[in-house]
Amino acid sequence: MKALVYQGPGKMALEDRPKPVLQAPGDAIVKLLKTTICGTDLHILKGDVATCAPGRILGHEGVGVIDSVGAGVTAFEPGDHVLISCISSCGKCENCRRGMYSHCATGGWILGNQIDGTQAEYVRTPHADTSLYPIPVGADEEAMVMLSDILPTGFECGVLSGKVEPGASVAIVGAGPIGLAALLTAQLYSPATIIMIDLDANRLAVASKFGATHVINSADGKAAETVRAITEGRGVDTAIEAVGVPATFLLCQELVAAGGVIANVGVHGHMVDLHLEKLWSMNIAITTRLVDTVTTPMLMKTVRAKTIDPAQLITHRFPLERIVDAYDTFGRAAETHALKVIIEA
């Protein structure tokens, strides 16, 4: 089968690989219909993700059709259309039992990282019963691909950890796909004010279209000041960090109101400064989270009810044969205005 293989920092290629086989009773083999590329895939390509060795098939998102299942699988059978979660969850270990699937003892984020992933014609998914979700007949399968990772990430790590509430104020720092996913899902809780902050005018225009009540181009260094003006000097109830660098985390510390939350979504590669000399008395919380995908069923219901439309995030489509071009388009997002690209397998 065709599969996109990571060949070491800066290198990848579409290779011919053997179709995967069942290895454990809980496994399923899924024939991919559609997959996509995540910002994390770009991190792997840069060589920033130590757990991902050369030779690995990339990708941790997608929808597909069950090809075969192991003896222990009871929830699925060949022919079923399924959503593949980016997080593999055994459903048995202490962390899974408390809803923290991201830290599953034998799972977590392993697809396209520690085991072969979804940017291929077929993928082996461990713990299939608790890591795949049935796709309702008639659902928009492209929209469903957004539920593998990006939508639950924005929702769980940003909106839920950030305790967004009706009438509240939210600032989202970073209007990339993940920040926009937070923007879409924040509206499930009806905040009165959603301020989007970025350096890219195109992304801010998209944010306005997606429901931001205010957009701020932070190029002038006055974002914190502008947020204070919008919030009558208080700052925001929730500041969502959706970039992953020290400067944006610092900005969040300037934006958050007393009693508020800084919900970190960004993947950080470096230590950051935390101004506890100012924050110690401000009754705030700072949260971190690797997505658990525990809200996948909830999000599927809101998508089916058309409360949110994640298909808005899709800007480009490529066949699997042209996945390297898809990476190029996704990687040059500032020029191509790419948000999420769909790869059809």
Out of 13, 285, 324, 334, which residue is the one contacting its own copies (CB under 8 A)?
285
Which of 14/188 has CB closer to its own copies?
Answer: 188
Give the distance, in angstroms, between the CA of residue 190 and the centroid of all CA atoms in the same chain. Answer: 21
The residues, ordered by sequence, that sit 6+ positions from 205 with a Cβ below 8 Å of its Cβ are 215
Q: Interface with its own copies includes 205 (CB under 8 A)? A: no
Interface segment toward its own copies; rule CB under 8 A; list 12-20, 51-59, 197-205, 299-307? 299-307
Residues 133-192 that bind its own copies (CB under 8 A): 161, 165-168, 187-190, 192
C-beta separation of 5 from 17 below 8 A: yes
Please give the distance of CA 92 from its chain centroid, rounded to a whole number.
24
User: By CB under 8 A, is residue 282 in contact with its own copies?
Assistant: yes
Among residues 258, 317, 325, 332, which is the contact residue for its own copies, using CB under 8 A? Answer: 258
Q: Work out which of 201, 298, 324, 334 binds its own copies, going by CB under 8 A.
A: 298
Dihedral of alpha carbons 180, 318, 44, 3, sign = positive
- CA 222 vs CA 218, 257, 279, 310: distances in Å: 6, 17, 20, 31
Stretch that binds its own copies, among 3-11, 118-126, 142-150, 283-291 (CB under 8 A): 283-291
The interface with its own copies within residues 322-341 (CB under 8 A) comprises: none
Stretch that binds its own copies, among 1-9, 199-207, 225-233, 256-264 (CB under 8 A): 256-264
CB of 44 to its own copies, least distance (A): 15
State which residue, 238 or 302, has the beta carbon closest to its own copies.
Answer: 302
Strand partners, 12: 6
Interface with its own copies (CB under 8 A), residue from 286, 312, 315, 337? 286
Residue placing its CB nearer to its own copies in the complex, 68 or 106: 106
Q: Which is nearer to its own copies, 275 or 332 (CB)?
A: 275
Segment contacting its own copies (CB under 8 A): 27-35, 59-67, 112-120, 266-274? Answer: 266-274
| Nearest distance from C-beta of residue 220 to its own copies, angstroms | 25
Report if residue 50 touches its own copies, rule: CB under 8 A: no
Let me know how long the chain is: 345
**Among residue numbers 4 through 33, which ones bind its own copies (CB under 8 A)?**
25-26
**Helix or strand run (H / E) with residue 179:** helix 177-186
Does residue 270 bind its own copies (CB under 8 A)?
Answer: yes
Interface with its own copies: number of residues (CB under 8 A) = 73
Amino acid at residue number 159 = V
Dihedral (C-alpha) 107, 14, 327, 82: value to the nearest 10 degrees? -40
Angle between helices 201-210 and 177-186 (to 10 degrees): 20
Q: How far is Cα 117 from Cα 264, in angstroms, rounded to an integer?
A: 26
Q: How many CB atoms lie within 10 A of CB 297?
A: 10
Question: Of 106-135, which residues contact its own copies (CB under 8 A)?
Answer: 106, 129-130
Q: Which of 7, 288, 319, 328 binds its own copies (CB under 8 A)?
A: 288
The CA-atom distances, in angstroms, between 154 and each of 27, 175, 309 are 28, 11, 14
Minimum CB separation from its own copies for residue 153, in Å? 11
Pair of tokens at residue 150: 């990006």
Q: Please, which residue, 281 or 335, has the CB nearer to its own copies?
A: 281
In angstroms, the Cα distances linking 327 to 40, 143, 158, 257 are 12, 20, 26, 39
User: Three-state DSSP class for 202?
Assistant: helix
